[in-house]
Copies of this chain bind each other. A is one copy, B any other.
Amino acid sequence: MEFVEHRSRKDQVIDKAAELFRVNGYSATSMRDLANALGIEAASLYSHIRSKEEILQNLCFGMAEKFRSKLEEVERSDVSSSQKLRAGIVAHIHIMSDNLTESAVFMNEHRHLSQPFLREFLLLRINYINRFKRIIQQGIDKGEFIHVDTKLAVMTLFSSLNWMPHWYDPQGVIDPESLGNQLADMLIIGLKA
């Protein structure tokens, strides 16, 4: 929203923390590790953030909001269930590939949130999953999809999406759009010739 790209020092701290959390995990990353990676003293971090966990909260809820708002857009579109499922998958992968490090933290480290943040986070996540589940259920009701177990279907989809930060290379040949479409194809039409 600004003409000058201005990343606040707080954002820089959070970004660097995300990198370390991703590689070593939240608990195994110390504030001294983080300070060191930024070239400052550990105590200086606290002029930018209130606590170690505040960083994790920023990362987890920031990503949750990105995923949620995009999926809401998709839901509002008036298309077939296949198209809606496809659009939801593509949207998710787009956000993920734009924020690979944060996505990995979002997926793997949220359990280190304390209460009531953990509870809130899990509610957001179950809500997100249920939105996809509803899309699949609608497809079944309309006869567009076969009568699969929606829980298994949505968990298969969700785990595929969650695992992507582990192997997807945004510098590689395949763009988020194609990857999303290929995943959608595989889920919708299967492997069978």
Report A's interface with B, CB cutoff 8 A. 24-28, 82, 108, 111-112, 136, 139, 143-146, 148-149, 151-153, 155-156, 158-160, 162-164, 167, 174, 179, 182-183, 185-193
18 of the cross-chain contacts (CB-CB < 8 Å) are A25-B25, A25-B26, A27-B27, A27-B28, A143-B193, A146-B191, A146-B193, A149-B174, A152-B183, A153-B191, A155-B160, A156-B156, A156-B183, A156-B187, A158-B163, A189-B192, A190-B190, A190-B191
Main secondary structure of the interface of A (DSSP, over half): helix
Q: Is the CB of A182 within 8 A of B25?
A: no
Q: A82-B192, A146-B189, A153-B191 are in contact. List 11 more A-B contacts (CB 8 A).
A: A25-B111, A27-B28, A108-B108, A146-B191, A148-B182, A155-B160, A159-B159, A159-B160, A187-B190, A188-B190, A189-B190
Copies in the complex: 2
